[in-house]
Structure 1
C-alpha cells in the first residue's frame, strides 16, 4: 500500500462511530471484533448468504465488482442501457414492496414518500449525458470522450437507502463503472434486498454477475478497506464533514455530499397562499428528511400574518411558545463546550418522526395526517440553526429583505447546499442567490422542484456540494480522455 494513500485510522474510527450513532444505533459486536479481520485474509468472489452482490467483506466485494466491470466494458453502451432499464423498471415495480421494507427497517419518514422516491427514480439521467465533444481544424481532428473509472465505492445514508443506491447505480453504470456500496448500518438490509434483486435481473439479461455489490454488515473495517482497495478508483460519499474528510484523505477522487440547512425567504411580492402550500409540500415530504427540504422560513413582517394564516389553512399546525418550549426540550439537549458555552445536540429518536409524534412532545394531540408543525422563533433558536430533519418549521419575522437574506445566510452556515425564495421581485431573487451561493436555488416552488419534481431538470439523490460537482449525473463519474489525429480525417 502506498503510504500516501493510507487513511488516518483515528479519523476513520471517529467517522464510523459518528455514522453509526447518527440515528441512535450501535454497531454489532460482529462488526467490530477480530473475526471481521479474519474474513479479509482470503477473499473469495462468493456472495454472502447466496444473495447476488451481497458480501461479508470489502475485498471480496471489490474483486467481484472489478470482474463485473470488465464484462460490462466488453458489453459496450448497449449493456449499460440494459442495466439502466432494469434498475428503473424494478424501482417502479417494487416501489411498494421496497418502500415498506425500508420504512420498517429505518422507522423514519413517511411510507407514501418512501414509495414515491422509488417511483421517480425513472427521472435519473443515463447514457444520453455522455455525448462526446469533437472538433476539427487545419491540423486534424480531436475527440474528447467521457470514460469510466472502473470500480466506485459509495457510502449510503440511512435516510434514503434504496433510492440513493438506485440513482447512483444509474449514474455510475451509465458512465461504465461497477459499484460497491457501504450502506448506513440502519439501512443495510434494504440495500442488500435491492442489490440482490438488481443483480439477479442483470445476470439473467446480460450474464454479468455482481455488477453492484454491498457489504452485508457495514463496519469500520469495511469502510477502511473500501477506501484502501486497489480496485476502487473513486469514492462517492453522502455524510457529514468527518466522513467527507476521511474520503478526501484516501488519495482517490471523491465526490462528496455535505450537510445542508436550507432557508426560505418569503417577501410578500408573490402569492402567500401558494408559498405556504409549496413550503408545506417540501418541508413535510418524508417528514423533512430531504437534505434539500425547507428547514426555516424568514418572512417579511408586512406579510407574516397572512403567511402564517395560510400555513394553517393548508393543514400545518401552529405551536404556541409554551408548546414550542416543550418540544425543543424533547428535540434537543444542551452539550457544554469549552469556555463555558454550550450547543444544542439533536435527539436522533425524533429525526423523521411524524408531526403527530412531535406534537405529543409539545403536549398536544393533532390528527395523524397532520403534515407539519410550525412556530414563530427568533433566528438563534435551535430549530433554526440545527439541521433537524423533522416536520417542524421555525418561522422568523424580519423587517426587510436585507435582514431576511442575512438571517438565511447565517442559518445556512455556508454549506452552500440549497435555498428557496418566494418572490416576484427579480432584484430580491438575485440578491439572495448571490449572497448564499448555494448549489440549488429554487424560486417560487417547493424544494423538490430543484430536482425536477415540479420544475425543469433531472433527478439525483446525491448532491455533491462539498466537492462542487453539484447534482450528480453520469458525467460526474467519468474521466475525460482526448484522442487526437494530426493533419488527417478532416473531410472539408
Structure 2
C-alpha cells in the first residue's frame, strides 16, 4: 500500500527506536577497549569522507563554503575525538577513598538527536561519537532540507562502526523525514534523552516532550573589544570568524561593541579585512529582502 508521508515517517521512527533499544542492550556492557576501537573506526571513516560530505551538504542546502564544511567535519571527527578519547566511560571511572565514593560509567540508553541545515554533516558526526563513546544508541532526525547529506554521513560512520564490532542499529538516521515522525520519536518509550540543535520551534518542542532534553537554539553572539586589545588582531579574528562558512555558524559574532578609545581604529582595520558598513539605503534594501 502507498501510505502517506506522515504514516511512513511514524512507522520508520518506531522501527528505528525499537531496533536502537535492542542494540543498546547488547552494547551496554561493552568494555572500554571495544568502545574506543569502534569510535576510532568511525573517526577514520569521517575523516576520509570529510570533503565529500562537506560538498554534499553545500549542494543540498545551498549554504556555506564546501572547503569550510570539510574543516567543520574534520573538527567534529578528529577534533572531538582527540578531546574525549582518553575519557573513561566504562566500568569504574573514579574513586575517592576518603569519602568512600566509587563512580561507575553507565549509558543513558537511546538518544534522539536533531540536526540543523546549517551544519548537518558535522553535527551528525560529533553527536554520534559522543553517544557511542558513552555506550548509548543514537538516532538522528535531520533537517528536511539536509536529509540526504545527513543520512549519508550517518551511513558512512555507522558502517565503519559496525565493521569494527558495533551492534547493527545502534546508530541510525531517519530517512522518511516528517514532523509526525520526529514527534513520534520525542514521545517513544524507547527514547531516553533528546539532543536538539535547530530552530526555536524544534528546540521548544524537544524540551516539551516530557523527558530529559538538551537544546541549543539560534545564537545571537556579541563581542566586546576592550581598549587593551589590539584593534588589528581583533579585526582579523572577527572578520575571519564571521565569514567562515558564509557565517552559518550561529556562534560567530553577530554584533561588535568596542571601547570608544579604539572604536574608530577597529572599524578601519575591519574594513581593511573586507568588512563592509552599510549605508542606510543599503540596510533598508537588505532588510526588506531578509525580513
Q: TM-score, normalised by structure 2?
A: 0.90
Of residues 105, 109, 114 in structure 2, which corresponds to 1:146?
105
Of residues 47, 55, 78 in structure 2, which corresponds to 1:92?
47
2:274 is equivalent to residue 315 of structure 1? yes
Which residue of structure 2 lines up, in the alignment, with residue 160 of structure 1?
119
Which residue of structure 2 lines up, in the alignment, with residue 255 of structure 1?
214
Residues 126 and 68 of structure 1: is their aligned pair in 2 closer, same or farther, counting only changes over 3 Å? farther
Which residue of structure 1 lines up, in the alignment, with residue 7 of structure 2?
37
2:87 is equivalent to residue 129 of structure 1? yes
Which residue of structure 2 lines up, in the alignment, with residue 26 of structure 1?
none
Quick check: which has more Rg, 1 or 2? 1
Deviation readout 1:414-444 (Å, 9 max, x if unpaired): xxxxxxxxxxxxxxxxxxxxxxxxxxxxxxx
Deviation readout 1:261-320 (Å, 9 max, x if unpaired): 001122332210111000001111111111210001122333222111111222223433
- Tell whether the 8 Å contact from 1:84 to 1:126 is kept in structure 2 after alignment: no
2:179 is equivalent to residue 223 of structure 1? no
Deviation readout 1:87-138 (Å, 9 max, x if unpaired): 221221111111111110010111221111012221113353346231225x
Deviation readout 1:65-99 (Å, 9 max, x if unpaired): 12221232243222221222122212211111111
Give secondary structure in 2 for the equivalent of 1:263: strand
Residues 301 and 321 of structure 1: is their aligned pair in 2 closer, same or farther, counting only changes over 3 Å? farther
Provide the rounded CA distance (Å) in 2 between the counterparts of 1:38 and 1:155. 19
Say what the alpha-carbon RMSD is for the aligned residues: 2.1
- Tell whether the 8 Å contact from 1:72 to 1:79 is kept in structure 2 after alignment: no
Provide the rounded CA distance (Å) in 1 between the counterparts of 2:101 and 2:127. 31
TM-aligned CA deviation for residue 321 of structure 1: 3.0
Which residue of structure 2 lines up, in the alignment, with residue 462 of structure 1?
none
Which residue of structure 2 lines up, in the alignment, with residue 326 of structure 1?
285
- Tell whether the 8 Å contact from 2:35 to 2:135 is kept in structure 1 after alignment: yes
TM-aligned CA deviation for residue 211 of structure 1: 1.9
- Tell whether the 8 Å contact from 2:9 to 2:181 is kept in structure 1 after alignment: no
Aligned pairs for 1:378-457 (under 5 A) are none
Provide the rounded CA distance (Å) in 1 between the counterparts of 2:234 and 2:116. 30
- Tell whether the 8 Å contact from 1:185 to 1:217 is kept in structure 2 after alignment: no
- Tell whether the 8 Å contact from 1:127 to 1:175 is kept in structure 2 after alignment: no
> Does 271-280 or 58-67 show the bigger shift?
58-67
Aligned pairs for 1:461-480 (under 5 A) are none
Provide the rounded CA distance (Å) in 2 between the counterparts of 1:241 and 1:120. 25
Aligned pairs for 1:320-399 (under 5 A) are 320-332=279-291
Which residue of structure 2 lines up, in the alignment, with residue 104 of structure 1?
59
TM-aligned CA deviation for residue 239 of structure 1: 2.6
TM-aligned CA deviation for residue 237 of structure 1: 0.7
Q: Higher helix proportion, which one?
A: 2
TM-aligned CA deviation for residue 325 of structure 1: 2.6
Of residues 250, 256, 262 in structure 2, which corresponds to 1:303?
262
Q: TM-score, normalised by structure 1?
A: 0.55
- Tell whether the 8 Å contact from 1:237 to 1:254 is kept in structure 2 after alignment: yes
Deviation readout 1:169-213 (Å, 9 max, x if unpaired): 111111110101111001110111111122222222216212211
Deviation readout 1:233-281 (Å, 9 max, x if unpaired): 1111113443233222222111111332001122332210111000001
Unaligned runs of 5+ in 2: none
Which residue of structure 1 lines up, in the alignment, with residue 253 of structure 2?
294
Provide the rounded CA distance (Å) in 2 between the counterparts of 1:171 and 1:269. 38
Aligned pairs for 1:196-211 (under 5 A) are 196-206=155-165, 208-211=167-170
Deviation readout 1:136-181 (Å, 9 max, x if unpaired): 25xx943112310111011111111110111111111111101011
Give secondary structure in 1 for the equivalent of 2:227: coil
Residues 226 and 142 of structure 1: is their aligned pair in 2 closer, same or farther, counting only changes over 3 Å? same
- Tell whether the 8 Å contact from 1:277 to 1:314 is kept in structure 2 after alignment: yes
Unaligned runs of 5+ in 1: 1-29, 44-56, 333-492
Residues 39 and 106 of structure 1: is their aligned pair in 2 closer, same or farther, counting only changes over 3 Å? closer
Provide the rounded CA distance (Å) in 1 between the counterparts of 2:8 and 2:279. 57
TM-aligned CA deviation for residue 39 of structure 1: 6.8
Give secondary structure in 2 for the equivalent of 1:129: coil
